[in-house]
Structure 1
Amino acid sequence: MQLPLICRLALASILLCFTSFAQSATKDCVFVLMHGKWGGPQSPYLKELAKQVSTVCEVELREMPWSRNRNYDETYESALNQLAGSVKGYRTKGYRLVFIGGQSFGANAAMAYQAYIGDADAIIALAPGHSPSLMYERGMTGSDLECAQKAIADGKPDALISFTDLNQGRQRDFKIRADVFWSYFNPNGLGNMTLTASQFKKSTPFMWVIGRLDPLYPSGSAYAFDRVPPNPNNTYVVVSADHATTPEEAAPQVLNWVKKVSTTKP
């Protein structure tokens, strides 16, 4: 006997809801993925990685203050605090694991997050970038840092600092608040990955991915990877890629690692 049309529609709706629930219920993790310097959340370099990871985790492509649109509009600490609020929200919604990762400056931020906040379940650093210590050593930021530090000490954190930023050999001029400049370009601050690696607040599964054509590749694991707290899931991956194409090239390895961490972490 064929059910009346209204009953069939109701049944189809119930089945659709059940299917959607079953699909979402299998994703008990969130992957927050941050772009590189002067990029954005829809970076083509992150597209394939986000697509593959989304098969096992919800993916948030997050816009950060160093994007092409925001131009350093808030301090590093403020950005990380806002990310912490999002992480708390995901846990409230019932997600079991929160992965924090990114490319270039986004990788820098993932590591800074675990040193400053420390509640991520895993950290993924892809083609890590942004080196305020290198810029300082090259004489690019010394006088600007002095000006910023003085302005902050004088109670004028909103004083504007003009400086030249560096991104994989490219340069670009900015004018931003003194406190914002100091937070990102202090050579001994949150942007220094050799420091933040050693300051993770807990032992955390950590994945470092670097391309053979990346300027940072010759520095090897000693640069930052070896400094993080020991963890059985810590993984150092080298791929045949440059700084920009590393996330796409490494997408299958990242996906497998996410699956592994998801099954081994309580």
Structure 2
Amino acid sequence: MAPARRRLLLALLLAPFAAAAAVADGGNSRIGIVVMHGKGGSPTKFVAELAERLEQQGFLVANLEMPWSGRRNYDVTVDAAAAEVEAALSSLRAKGAQRVFVAGHSQGGLFALYFGVSHAVDGIIAIAPGGSVNSPVFRDKLGDSVELARRLLADGKGDEKVPFLDYEGSRGTSPVLTTPRIYLDWFDPAGAMDQLKAVRALNPATPVLFIVPTGDYPGLLRVKQQMVDALPRHPRTKLYEPDASHLGAPSASVREIADWLVGVANPR
């Protein structure tokens, strides 16, 4: 084989590895990703391994504490939460990220989908997304709290902190202390946290890695196909089903997420 042809063949064979190496080495194809935990969680719980291992592979990572954490107790509105994510993306760009992504687990996955509707990102990773307030179970469990918040807001008490209820499939209802205005922003069934509405409103140009573990909660498994079917068509949009539980899904998906990020950021 002629030397020139041999060099060309070698270059073609090594191209995928070169793209990955460019990311790991902080080269021209720098990738930034915002990671968001699930309801009542924190950056140090079920998304911690995902964030750490992506950082070890050279990705630029912002692992955020979001308003639905166990500590923050819904302390800001949906728009303010989106502004926190946008600020994190701007920080990643300032550090050299040329492609930016949002990823979230459980409610964080739902918020990643919502965020991607109206904010410019190169891709969305929804890991076992859940918490859709327009689902029948949420309407049943939280209906009284939603009506209370509406009455208080109508009475001019929208900014006074009041105890309400939140709901999470594995542990039932739990108390949250926030204002009626903020509570309605998150929990109004016709509001932002309607998962199907968010999925249907996504920009077709934005690819989605939609992760549903085989051991996910029954309610989320029941709506899996409906959600996948509602995703806009994109050649890089993909359903991944790791052999894991709801809580174990982020750790079980690290390799798939890393490969998908590189593939989207470095299309061939």
The TM-score by the shorter chain falls in which range? Answer: 0.7 to 0.9
Match of 1:134 in 2: 135
Query: 1:71-82, aligned counterparts within 5 Å?
Result: 71-82=73-84
Distance in 1 (CA, whole Å) between partners of 2:74 and 2:259 is 34
Deviation at residue 190 of structure 1 after TM alignment: 1.3
Matching of residues 73-152 of structure 1 within 5 Å: 73-115=75-117, 117-134=118-135, 139-152=140-153
Deviation string 1:55-81 (CA, Å, 9 cap, x unpaired) is: 142111111011111111111121012
Amino acid at match of 2:266: T
Q: CA offsets, 1:208-240, max 9 Å, x none?
A: 101111121232221x23223221100001111
1:264 is paired with a residue of what secondary structure? coil
1:251 aligns with 2:258: no
2:71 to 69, 77, 96: 69
CA deviation map 1:71-92 (0-9, x unaligned): 1111112101221233234334
Describe the SS at the equivalent of 1:221.
helix
Cα 1:128/1:137, change in 2 over 3 Å: closer
Distance 1:59 1:214, change over 3 A: same
Name the stretch that deviates more: 235-244 or 75-84.
Answer: 75-84
> CA shift at 1:153, angstroms?
4.2
Q: Which moved more, 1:103-112 or 1:47-56?
A: 47-56
Q: Secondary structure at the match of 2:212?
A: strand
Instruction: Single out whichever of 90-99 and 251-260 deviates more from structure 2.
Output: 90-99
Match of 1:225 in 2: 228
TM-score, with structure 1 as normaliser: 0.82
Residues 206 and 234 in structure 2, CA contact (< 8 A), matched pair in contact too? yes
State the identity as a percent.
28
- Report if the CA contact (8 A) 1:31-1:101 is conserved: yes
Matched, 1:163 2:154: no
Distance in 2 (CA, whole Å) between partners of 1:94 and 1:248 is: 26
Cα distance in 2 for residues equivalent to 1:178 and 1:33: 28
Between the aligned partners of 1:82 and 1:148, the Cα distance in structure 2 is 25
Whether the 8 Å CA contact 1:40–1:68 is kept in 2: the answer is yes
Q: Deviations over 1:121-151 (max 9, x none)?
A: 1000001121212366552222322232343
Q: Which runs of 5+ in 1 are unaligned?
A: 1-21
Using the alignment, how far apart are the partners of 1:72 and 1:246 within structure 2?
A: 24
Q: 2:59 aligns with which of 47, 57, 60?
A: 57
Contact 2:142 2:167 in 1 (8 A): no
Aligned length: 241
Choose 240-249 or 132-141, whichever is displaced more: 132-141
* 1:263 is aligned to 2:266: yes
Letter in 2 for 1:39: G
Q: Residue 145 of structure 1 contacts residue 186 of structure 1 at CA under 8 Å; is this kept in 2? A: yes
What's the secondary structure of 2:109's corresponding residue? helix
Q: Name the residue aligned to 1:175.
A: 177
Structure 2 Cα separation of the partners of residues 51 and 137 of structure 1:
33
Q: Which residues of structure 2 form unaligned runs of 5+? A: 1-23
CA contact (8 A) 1:36 1:67 kept: yes
Q: Contact conserved, 2:199 with 2:231, CA < 8 A, in 1?
A: yes
Which residue pairs with 1:195 in the alignment? 197
Task: Indicate if the aligned counterparts of 1:30 and 1:58 stay in contact, CA closer than 8 A.
Answer: yes
